[in-house]
Structure 1
Amino acid sequence: MDDFENFTWGVTIAAAQTEGAYLADGKGMSIWDTFTQKSRRIKDRSNNQIATDFYHRYKEDIDLAVDIGLKIFRFSISWSRILPDGSGKINQRGIAFYNNVIDYCLKAGIEPWITTYHWDLPQRLQDKGGWKNREILLDYENYVAILRDHFADKVKNWILINEAIVCIGAGYFLGIHAPGKRGIRNFSASIHHMLLAQAMGFKVLKEKENLNVGTAVSCTKIEPFTNNFSDKKAADRIDALMNRVCIEPYLGLGYPEKELPLSKRIKKFVQEGDMEALKTDFDFWGIQTYAREVVKGAWYIPYLGAMLVSPKKREVPVSIMGWETYPHGTQYFVERFARYDPKKPLWLSECGIALSQEEDDQERIAYYKDVIKGVKKVLHKGIHLKGILIWTLVDNFEWAEGYVPKFGIIKMEENTLNRKMKKTAIWLKEYLLNIKL
């Protein structure tokens, strides 16, 4: 049997990073619209008001994906484009835009996948406390029901929330992402509410027959700096935070309190019936991994008692994001998830590497070749890995990093916004043409 029989390649994009048109056609403000107006929060002092202008150029981008040979086009919905106030009156022009995207995907011969939430909360809901406020459970449930009622007849595959641990960790604990909140109480309430909302969203979507509904989780390979007791325990704590908090409650295992005492603080926000409500048998898991981190014990660091050892100090390859380039993490996490449930379908729903504008794209090609080697190994083991959705199509707004990191396989000219295939896109097109099915 060929390694890639029934294996699918696609691409992932996100609304706040690509759409632009931030107030067009009735759209309300999102937390990222607000956050980027305070340009000192963004490293290159940029914003996402235009981004890649996917709102006006979606046909061009979909055509490029099809030309490369990709079979899945995963995009996220902007909550505030559908509900400008986060709840209440529906913006029909927003509904029409996403119907146009879906219809064009189907016409072009590429399968649309929807992500319901990729970090861009309506600002009106943040004004009420955002994910820290338990009332957001009903807001998200209502929002997902609207998406189901308008798009589920044409879109079968859905991802609920993208990378909860990054969204809440960076936005409600460290304050480096929108909405810029900090502190353990913000984190503890917000992560529980987001996980619970996702479980509710799953039930809403599954009311529609034949939908395939999963989630996308951020995974980071964690290793101790040394084999001493302090470093190994620190690695266990960080692994529990980064790779278990947003997974195991759905499996009925609860929060990993033993390895991560910090998670006991989440219990303050757990109401009767919550842990049972969290149990969710997703149709698939989306695995997203980019880097490896090495940690050592640091008793003086609040809550975590651990600190990262810089990749530069470890003398390993580092991307422009400051992350260790670690394509081997894809194989590691696919095998780890398979141990939870060998029968559960798995996707690499994001993977990629950020380069600078000046760097040779051969490094990106080498990255994907290493990912492919790992994929072949897990497929040989019989693991139920269904495909790869690469991050990303066009160089875009990379959150607090602005436009400096280039994850795309297609270049965007800064002034004209014109697209041009990079070496990676040309290589991938040829590779996909030559795969023997």
Structure 2
Amino acid sequence: MSKFQKLLWGCTIAAAQTEGAYNIEGKGPSIWDEFTRKSYKIKDRSNAKIATDFYHRYKEDIDLAASLGLKIFRFSISWPRIIPHGTGDVNTKGVDFYNNVIDYCLKVGIQPWITTYHWDLPQKLQDKGGWTNREIVNWYTDYVEILKEHFADRVKYWILINEGVVCMGGGYFLGVHAPGKRGIRNFIAATHHLLLAQAEGFRVLKQKKDLQVGTAISCTKIEPYRDTINDRKAAIRIDALMNRLFIEPHLGMGYPHEDLPIISRISKYYQEGDLERLKVDFDFWGIQTYTREVVKGTWYIPYLGAMLVRPKKRNVKTSIMGWETYPQGIPYFLERFAKYDTKKPLWLTECGMALAKDEDDQNRIEYYQKVIIGMKSVLDKGVNLKGILLWTLVDNFEWAEGYIPKFGIVELDKKTLKRTMKKSALWLKEYLLNIEL
């Protein structure tokens, strides 16, 4: 069997985007419940009160994944479903739900993976400052301890934080995601506390020696618009922000303040021993990449001195998200992260393509065919790639974009919640079957 045939295939979903059941059986409010209450913040004025109703239809979705030949089902835990107020009493019905999800995965022969945090912070903790409050390191550690107690006997693979730069950038700097906070001070404080929390969460889970614990890193290929010193330096700064800030402190390299001077302000939030506490040797890294950005230097953008050159100006076709679809970023980042540590297991824990409602799903098939070419190329170069998890199974609530982008390989009828396999799902099923033959 070749290295490529040994790759494991799976899918990734997130609680806030799929579960629905937002206020039943003891679940407390999350920051996304509050954020979507003001409908003007969501492009199609929608919310995730029902979403895909995974809470009631989890068996149907797990069966779908298994029927396609997927071997891994990665889902996230909703913190406020487990601990409604963020701290204190545990909601036993929430624990029961995730036990049922895990047990059903195992029953049908698919491996459950847990993401401990995929952006749905309990609103009660946000009322206390959320990630800008250093106490969240303890709140998160206690929460992970509870997850370990209830689920670690059956779940081997754990991802701590999903795409820290996206949830901190969108939620605490630009204000376009929950909790809608803005400003460099919020972003810097929240970033430091999130990375500390992730490091401590790792230590909690590793108390159980047989667990494999990693993180999922958002990666965006950054290129200068022109071959000028100004644009090249701008690209270096944005690359440090997007691709280095949320991994290098864990590697013992510190924050990349030399290439991103504004991040030097993070020292204001240091306590004795913090840089040492940030160092953790994750069991694996999850790489997640969708697009490429091209930047140019400019003096009037505060803190970063850079601005994006929109794809339209570059005569580049975009998806319904307004992104340049860029499967070439997958081999680029797999090779780049392999340079940090050639032996570190790498997983492609998210990748996918957003299509419009009536767009030909053949485009998604062609995207994944290019992804496959990229994975084969890095395996030939000796990169320690273990598998790929698709984003996503069923069309879902795509944060501030609402239900407009369709990332799923399974179509969702919003009125009836009926699931229908798309051409890409049928293609994938046949492809995976042929790999095994």
TM-score by shorter chain over 0.5? yes
Deviations 1:155-192 (A, max 9, x none): 00000000000000000000000000000100000000
Deviations 1:333-377 (A, max 9, x none): 000000000000000000001000110000000000000000000
Distance 2:157 2:88 in 1: 26
SS in structure 2 opposite 1:333? helix
Aligned ranges for residues 304-343 of structure 1 at < 5 Å? 304-343=304-343
Q: Tell me what 1:85 maps to.
A: 85
Q: Tell me what 2:359 maps to.
A: 359
Distance 1:314 1:402 in 2: 27
SS in structure 1 opposite 2:387? strand
SS in structure 2 opposite 1:45? coil
Distance 1:150 1:175 in 2: 34
Distance 2:333 2:235 in 1: 16
User: Does 2:132 correspond to 1:132?
Assistant: yes
Distance 2:415 2:128 in 1: 38
Q: Tell me what 2:268 maps to.
A: 268
Task: Report the Cα offset of residue 317 of structure 1.
Answer: 2.2
Distance 2:209 2:30 in 1: 31
- Residue 95 of structure 1 contacts residue 150 of structure 1 at CA under 8 Å; is this kept in 2? yes
Q: Tell me what 1:420 maps to.
A: 420
Q: Tell me what 1:404 maps to.
A: 404
Q: Tell me what 2:14 maps to.
A: 14
SS in structure 2 opposite 1:187? helix
Aligned ranges for residues 116-131 of structure 1 at < 5 Å? 116-131=116-131
SS in structure 1 opposite 2:25? helix
Q: Tell me what 1:297 maps to.
A: 297
Distance 2:155 2:34 in 1: 31
- Residue 2 of structure 1 contacts residue 436 of structure 1 at CA under 8 Å; is this kept in 2? no
| Unmatched 5+ stretches in structure 2 | none
SS in structure 2 opposite 1:25? coil
- Residue 169 of structure 2 contacts residue 187 of structure 2 at CA under 8 Å; is this kept in 1? yes
User: Does 2:103 correspond to 1:103?
Assistant: yes
Task: Report the Cα offset of residue 414 of structure 1.
Answer: 1.6
Distance 2:363 2:211 in 1: 38
User: Does 2:371 correspond to 1:371?
Assistant: yes
Distance 2:270 2:45 in 1: 39
Task: Report the Cα offset of residue 24 of structure 1.
Answer: 1.1
Q: Tell me what 1:30 maps to.
A: 30
The ranges of structure 1 where at least 4 consecutive aligned residues each deviate by more than 6 angstroms after the TM superposition are: none
Amino acid at match of 1:183: G
Q: Tell me what 2:147 maps to.
A: 147
SS in structure 1 opposite 2:5? coil
Aligned ranges for residues 164-243 of structure 1 at < 5 Å? 164-243=164-243
SS in structure 2 opposite 1:218? strand
Deviations 1:98-127 (A, max 9, x none): 000000000011000000000000000000
Q: Tell me what 1:387 maps to.
A: 387
SS in structure 1 opposite 2:64? helix
Amino acid at match of 1:240: A
Amino acid at match of 1:215: T
- Residue 12 of structure 2 contacts residue 390 of structure 2 at CA under 8 Å; is this kept in 1? yes
Distance 1:195 1:319 in 2: 31
Task: Report the Cα offset of residue 315 of structure 1.
Answer: 1.2
Distance 1:365 1:269 in 2: 46
Task: Report the Cα offset of residue 436 of structure 1.
Answer: 4.5
Distance 1:106 1:364 in 2: 29
| Unmatched 5+ stretches in structure 1 | none
Amino acid at match of 2:239: D
Distance 1:389 1:270 in 2: 35
Deviations 1:247-275 (A, max 9, x none): 10001000011110011011111111000
- Residue 5 of structure 2 contacts residue 435 of structure 2 at CA under 8 Å; is this kept in 1? no
When the two structures are aligned, how many residues end up with a matched partner? Answer: 437
TM-score normalised over the length of structure 1:
0.99
Q: Tell me what 2:50 maps to.
A: 50
Which of 355-364 and 3-12 deviates more? Answer: 3-12
Task: Report the Cα offset of residue 2 of structure 1.
Answer: 2.0
TM-score normalised over the length of structure 2:
0.99
Identical amino acids, percent of aligned pairs: 72
Amino acid at match of 1:203: R
Distance 1:436 1:207 in 2: 36
Deviations 1:274-297 (A, max 9, x none): 000000000000000000000000
User: Does 2:431 correspond to 1:431?
Assistant: yes
Task: Report the Cα offset of residue 56 of structure 1.
Answer: 0.2
Task: Report the Cα offset of residue 313 of structure 1.
Answer: 1.1
Task: Report the Cα offset of residue 3 of structure 1.
Answer: 4.1
SS in structure 2 opposite 1:199? helix
What is the RMSD of the two structures over their aligned residues, measured on CA atoms?
0.7
